[in-house]
Structure 1
């Protein structure tokens, strides 16, 4: 479930790359808040507090913009290519009770049958849930699944109030037995042929 994090924000009046760089030097993160047909709001957010708040996917923030609160969902994070620091945020305005679409991770539980291997094909799936009750993940139980099994989206365990937005027959994971690389006989043949080749070279 999403935890509301309250963050002070100041309106941004200077734009352009130079202004953005200066903001980051001042330990502030440029961000834009949009949604519900309103004009986008450009703000600056405190770097350390905001970076901590957006460590988890689909973070939900309450921005205090000059005394006016805006509840917003993090939709996009732009990071520095090398430092991986947060350079810019896109935030979507949401309301309590409103349903939104987000991508959440697939959490695997259990062990497949002995000798089999699990191949997770979908690491995230799209779901719809209330903005203030967004799940961090959905669960896929693979306990005892045998080689040859295809595990479908319909088998995902969804938190209450969450709806899956992909086809129920989408393959989330497959179970297989890895091919054994049996080089025993080939290796022995190669070893036997080597001395013969050496003898031929000597002649």
Structure 2
């Protein structure tokens, strides 16, 4: 994993008002925890930080430069505005080169399984212990031409050198099953609607047909009289 350098500023103002002012300047409030030290409160450049987190993935490793010092920091939590999709706050854990850390690595499925199959990601992450500078961004699982019944377990994932699998070895990560038929999908939908108390409306043409039939019967009754 490569590290990206970010020039930060030590933050001395706190609270919601201070955070809003920081964001108005297109910057991001952040905190670095770890190694038994007091938390370090920082302000980071918004755009550069966003790009670094995109490049590094869920466990992005940044090299933060502030007050003449450099600190390796592993991303732990990112808060994003749900509407504007901009960074609101970032939590980091201070790490050292060669230090091992516990992380959850996202699973990415690639390739196409056999026709009429359904590929299900049973677990979206796999937990490992690895050196902070050697954490994979993702674990790729290739399902190319996989048949129904094929399963991919955590123990089958290739780990980086020096890494240890912490998830159960027999953890089911990806499962290839038979794709449901249209009838099965319809039956599941009806069952879900019934459980939710949803009643389906009668088709309009069917209702109109019943009305026409009723009118015809009434007309015959009138003629017979």
- Name the TM-score class by shorter chain: 0.7 to 0.9
Counterpart-to-counterpart distance in 2, 1:199 and 1:41: 78
**2:39 alignment partner, SS class:** strand
State the 4+ residue runs in structure 1 displaced beyond 3 angstroms: 196-201
Partner residue in 2 for 1:186: none
Per the alignment, residue 52 of structure 2 pairs with 53
TM-score, normalised on structure 2?
0.77
Distance change in 2, residues 1:80/1:109 (3 Å): closer
Contact 1:141 1:156 (C-alpha < 8 Å) held by counterparts? no
TM-score by length of 1: 0.84
Stretches of structure 1 lacking an aligned partner (at least 5 in a row): 184-193
**What is the RMSD computed on CA atoms of the aligned residues?**
2.3
Unaligned runs of 5+ in 2: 185-205, 218-225
Higher strand share: 1
| Maintained 8 Å contact 1:31/1:43 | yes
Residue aligning to 1:158: 159
1:79 aligns with 2:96: no
Q: CA deviation at 1:165?
A: 1.5
Q: Deviations over 1:130-167 (max 9, x none)?
A: 11111011132334432233332222232333322210
Secondary structure of 1:54's aligned partner: helix
CA offset at residue 198 of structure 1?
Answer: 7.9
Matched, 1:39 2:49: no
Q: Distance in 2 between matches of 1:197 and 1:100?
A: 70
Residue aligning to 2:3: 4
> Who is 1:106 aligned against?
107
By relative contact order (CA 8 Å, sep 6+), the higher-ranking structure is 1
Deviation at 1:13, TM superposition (A): 0.9
